Amino acid sequence: MSQVSRVLVAGAGIGGLCAALALAKQGMKAVVLEQAEQLGEVGAGLQISPNAFKVLRQLGLESELTPFAFVPQQAVIRDYKTGEYYFRSALGSAAEARYGAPYWHLHRADLHQVLVNACVRCGVELMLNAEVSSYEENVLLNQVAVLLKDGREFVADVLVGADGLHSKVREQMLGKERPTFMGQVAWRGVIPVNDLKVNIKPDACVWAGPGRHFVSYFLRGGHYVNFVAVEERSDWQSESWREEGDVEELKRAFTGWHPEVSDLLTSATSTFLWALNGRDELPTWHKGRVVLLGDACHPMLPFMAQGAAMAIEDAYVLARCLCAYSLTDAFMHYEQVRKPRATKVQKMSKTNAGLYHMHGGLLGKMKLKALQAAGRFAPDVIQSKLDGVYGYSVLHNR
């Protein structure tokens, strides 16, 4: 039924590579256009929850990723000063039993390299120095032509815009519009465990504090600790997510926090700093022979750790739809399946920002205390909210 045999994918990030791999496994020719001179990812961690893991497993990547994984035992929220636990949710074997797939921590670069290797094995063509400038549809030939900045042109049946927050594809489809700065910046970095001066628990840990929060978890079998530190600020202009940050400024921002945070940061020697941006819900994710996925259409705040997961889900659903339906129906079905899901997770992430940053002063602290009480006396109610995210499977939701 598919009218698609050749697909251009703009962007070789996690979402773009997953889309290319899923398309290739459905028998389509995928060509990835990446503007960078070489493939690679800045060092940072990813939380791969069961909903995303099911896709990676379906794509045949589980065994190749296993040596790089760390399996956290709990997801927790703790007080920035006292260390008091406001929330605990069992992960490890409990998550695998509940959701049918594990909860992993991976280094972004490891997942990226495994995806690159899998794409090459499946015949995906990876084009570097290929910055998309514009596209043009040819209705008579039922094709879309993509023009690169250097003048080269590529033609295919479909163009997938997986080119991130500042997507050129989205810009041409829906008009130029700057993303909305969410009033928060984030530092991120990776520290070898051998360099630490403090013992870190094997958890996915959020430290909640006034106007900021701190996340830490292990990577690469426990040999590294990844951190993400978020601070509310109004004075940030840079839109880069690869800008080197000032480690001393980071340490000052979290002075007076619990020793597990402050002592961990004494071992940090470098960090990247980026502004957290978002967009309003788009009126459509597709037009003609062009379609969007991941941050190009639904950028996520990191407060549910679902940005990469949503892009991975998008990629699999899009490939399946392009295989199963005519082009018009494929795009419509893809958006009908994915848009409500992504929008819901976006809203959950935004809500968590207020919780993690104790918005409302004493009221914010009371909300965390209420979460703590609910965990003791009505744990199933709390768990059910996570079930809707982690228990979801694009393999069964059609």
CA distance 343 to 160: 20
224 CB-near residues (< 8 Å, 6+ apart): 107, 190, 191, 192, 193, 218
Residue 238 DSSP code: -
CA distance 158 to 327: 9
CA distances from 200 to 161, 230, 300, 304 (A): 39, 19, 27, 21
Give the number of other CB atoms < 10 A from CB of residue 180.
Answer: 12
CA distance 162 to 156: 16
Give the number of other CB atoms < 10 A from CB of residue 216.
Answer: 22
Please tell me whether residue 370 adopts helix, strand or coil conformation: helix
Phi/psi of residue 64, each to 5°? -70, -30
- The pair of structure tokens assigned to 385 is 């909210």
Residue from 80, 99, 217, 224 carrying the catalytic annotation: 217
Rounded to the nearest 5 degrees, what angle is found at the Cα of 109, between the Cα atoms of 104 and 114?
75
Q: Spell out a b/e string for 291-324, using b for 16 or more CB atoms within 10 Å of the CB, else e.
A: bbbbbbbbbbbbbbbbbbbbbbbbbbbbbbbbbe
Give the dihedral sign, CA 137/132/182/109.
positive
Q: Is 334 a catalytic residue?
A: no
Burial grade of 46 (CB within 10 A; 0-12, 13-18, 19 or more): buried
Give the number of other CB atoms < 10 A from CB of residue 390.
Answer: 25
Q: Point out the residues that are catalytic.
A: 217
